[in-house]
Amino acid sequence: MQRNKSPYDLNGVPDLNTAIPLGLQHIMAMFMGNITPIIIVAGILGFTQDIKINLIQATILVAGLNTLVQVYTLGPMGAKLPVVVGTNFSFAPVAISVASKFGYEGVLGAALIGGIFEAFLGFHMKRIRKFFPPIVTGTVILAIGLYLLPVGINSFAGGYGASDFASKENLILGTIVLAVVIFFKEFTKGVTSSGAIFIGTVVGTVIAFLMGKIDITPLLQADIVSIPRPFSFGYSFHIEAIIPMVMMFVVSAIETMGDMSGITMGGAKRELK
């Protein structure tokens, strides 16, 4: 790694004043993207708080490990790109549907087969890349973005199952956060513009705390270190669950290619290899 003047140069490293807030922004974005689908699915399935926490822990742990593999590589695996790996919201409806019929172990069994299938696609990407040109990957990413609009709107109003859903306080809080993000993104430059989401998250958290919407009691009562419990549910395999899950993993593969293409084209001015 070289400490170039510009962090946009190949292997360039930004100074800590830039790297720390932008790194925290990526982590916060990863947290929101990872825990929200879990909260939605677990809430609909009626899981207890302890089970929800275990699922969130496992998700964050695996997302962090996968991100390290993508950035620094592990043997032939990893893109050497600043890619934050995490959960895909698109899987939530499929997971809910499968769980309602086969239980959560059915979801995990189908996801295991789907993950193996996507890994297989990854090792043969040179052969199948021609079937996924930019117009295809871009359209899929656009469709997923539109698909997530209801999730953002529900979160803006207070989140799924909130007792004060769409209350005046929630809408005011959401509007303030949105205004802060837009202001710093569009009307400032440098790290404050790039870190607009981070700034908006911090401002929103502080205001939410002052409004009494954040209860830190569970945080104060939690253990300093808590280890995720893998394989708590077990696995079951059903063809009715595996087929739709595999189809979602194909969509995920296309989205991944689109995301990485955006990084290489925008940051390195080249096509994805």
Residue 269 is predicted with a pLDDT of 81
Token representation of residue 22: 């932008």
Please say whether the beta carbons of 181 and 187 come within 8 A.
no
Q: What is the pLDDT of residues 208-250, one digit of tens each?
A: 999 999 888 877 887 888 888 878 889 999 999 999 999 999 9
- Is 10 inside a domain boundary? no
For residue 186, pLDDT beyond 90 = yes
Q: What is the pLDDT of residues 106-116, one digit of tens each?
A: 999 999 999 99
Arithmetic mean of pLDDT, 96-119 = 94
Under the banding of pLDDT at 50, 70 and 90, the label for residue 182 is very high
Within 8 A by CB and 6+ apart from 99, the residues are 41, 45, 106, 107
Tell the residue number behind the tokens 């950035």, with chain if given. Answer: 71
Please say whether the beta carbons of 64 and 54 come within 8 A.
no
DSSP category for residue 77: B
Tell the residue number behind the tokens 């742990």, with chain if given. Answer: 61
Please say whether the beta carbons of 69 and 78 come within 8 A.
yes
Residue 79 is predicted with a pLDDT of 85
- Is 273 inside a domain boundary? no
For residue 4, pLDDT beyond 60 = no
Residue 128 is predicted with a pLDDT of 82
- Is 204 inside a domain boundary? yes
- Is 154 inside a domain boundary? yes
Q: What is the pLDDT of residues 23-66, one digit of tens each?
A: 887 787 788 778 888 888 888 888 988 888 889 888 889 999 99
Q: What is the pLDDT of residues 132-171, one digit of tens each?
A: 787 887 887 788 778 778 878 888 998 877 889 999 999 9
- Is 6 inside a domain boundary? no
Residue 10 is predicted with a pLDDT of 62
Within 8 A by CB and 6+ apart from 259, the residues are 83, 141
- Is 223 inside a domain boundary? no
The total number of structural domains that make up the chain: 1
Of 222 and 183, the structure prediction assigns the larger pLDDT to: 183
For residue 85, pLDDT beyond 60 = yes
Tell the residue number behind the tokens 């953002």, with chain if given. Answer: 152
> Rounded to whole angstroms, how far apart are CA atoms 124 and 117?
11
Within 8 A by CB and 6+ apart from 93, the residues are none
> Rounded to whole angstroms, how far apart are CA atoms 7 and 3?
8
Q: Report which residue type is found at 141.
A: I
Q: 12 pairs with which residues across the strands?
A: 2
- Is 271 inside a domain boundary? no
> Rounded to whole angstroms, how far apart are CA atoms 99 and 104?
5
> Rounded to whole angstroms, how far apart are CA atoms 243 and 84?
27
DSSP 87-111: --TTHHHHHHHHHHHH-HHHHHHHH
Under the banding of pLDDT at 50, 70 and 90, the label for residue 102 is very high
- Is 138 inside a domain boundary? yes
- Residue 264 half-sphere exposure toward CB, CA atoms < 13 A: 14
Q: What is the pLDDT of residues 7-21, one digit of tens each?
A: 666 667 778 887 888
Residue 219 is predicted with a pLDDT of 78
Please say whether the beta carbons of 80 and 258 come within 8 A.
no
For residue 131, pLDDT beyond 60 = yes
Q: Which domain holds residue 145?
A: 16-217+229-266
